[in-house]
Amino acid sequence: AQSVTQLDSQVPVFEEAPVELRCNYSSSVSVYLFWYVQYPNQGLQLLLKYLSGSTLVKGINGFEAEFNKSQTSFHLRKPSVHISDTAEYFCAVMSRGYKLSFGAGTTVTVRA
Amino acid sequence: NAGVTQTPKFRILKIGQSMTLQCTQDMNHNYMYWYRQDPGMGLKLIYYSVGAGITDKGEVPNGYNVSRSTTEDFPLRLELAAPSQTSVYFCASSSGGVDTQYFGPGTRLTVL
């Protein structure tokens, strides 16, 4: 079985500053990794995913994430955030059976 | 192309009442999922379906039932509502495997 730990529950950040959201997973088998974003009162939408190949994955809205197999991590970064990036971010893992396991989420609040 | 739609958006139930949460997708996806989202807990898989007539339990199926008579629809049934079922419910669909799951806007259910 796999589990996902998002190390920060809340991340306040100023507009135009960089942000990093940390995600660690545990799994004994190969995994596929995802980041989803949930804007207030909306469903989740995919930011990016790692399936194979290059460990640096670029997603929508200027986000990127790096897969680190030795540290079992998949941290999400953005070099300069906007007010509109205020949202909840979920890391998720998929392995056998193609079912997603989600982390508890990180709330990002961007302030002017 | 509406994607994944869910009805109702909000509902308040009394303990012991029953209701059906509706989910419809127009992307011709074979796979459909029901999740519940509780504060600070991420999303938990309730049930999923890999095609019409095929359903299976997820991580937290107790107190719920599903059916899948068509590709488009995947209703979730609560038979005897309990306060522990107060949550936000999300339906999702995908082409299967590691393909992106597309989420509906959610149903906020309160059981009093």
**Separation in Å, CA B67 to CA A11, A37, B38:** 40, 29, 23
Is A42's CB within 8 Å of B105's CB?
A: yes
User: What would the pLDDT profile of A37-75 be if each residue is shown by its tens digit?
Assistant: 999 888 899 999 999 889 999 999 999 999 999 999 999
CB atoms < 10 A from the CB of B49, how many?
A: 20
Assigned domain for B64 exists: yes
- Across the interface, which of B4, B98, B106 has its CB nearest the CB of A51? B98
From chain A, which residues contact B within 8 Å (Cβ)? 4, 9, 32, 36, 41-46, 49, 51, 90, 94, 98-100, 102-105
- Rounded Cα gap, residues B13 and B10, in angstroms: 10
Using a CB-CB distance cutoff of 8 angstroms, which residues of chain B are in contact with residue A100?
43, 45, 101
Interface check B4 vs A, CB under 8 A: yes
Mean pLDDT of chain B: 94
- Across the interface, which of A9, A98, A104 has its CB nearest the CB of B97? A98
Residue B49: strand pairing partners = B32, B55
Closest residue on chain B to A48 (Cα): B100
Using a CB-CB distance cutoff of 8 angstroms, which residues of chain A are in contact with residue B43?
44, 90, 100, 102
Give SS3 for A9.
coil
Q: Name residues whose C-beta falls within 8 Å of residue A53's C-beta, 6 or more positions apart in sequence.
A: none
Is A100's CB within 8 Å of B101's CB?
A: yes
Interface check B83 vs A, CB under 8 A: no
Is A45's CB within 8 Å of B40's CB?
A: no
Assigned domain for B102 exists: no
Strands (E), chain A: 3-6, 10-14, 19-21, 23-26, 32-38, 44-50, 56-58, 64-68, 73-78, 87-94, 100-102, 106-111
CATH superfamily of A3-111: Immunoglobulins (2.60.40.10)
pLDDT band of B95, cuts 50, 70, 90: very high
Is A103's CB within 8 Å of B42's CB?
A: yes
How large is the average pLDDT for residues B41-60?
94
Assigned domain for B13 exists: yes
Q: What CATH number is attached to the domain comprising B28?
A: 2.60.40.10
- pLDDT above 90 coverage of chain A, percent: 78
Assigned domain for B109 exists: no
Task: Give the range of the structural domain holding residue B13, as residue numbers without chain letter.
Answer: 4-95
Assigned domain for B72 exists: yes
User: What would the pLDDT profile of B8-36 be if each residue is shown by its tens digit?
Assistant: 999 999 999 999 999 999 999 999 999 99
**Domains in chain B, number:** 1
Closest residue on chain A to B6 (Cα): A43
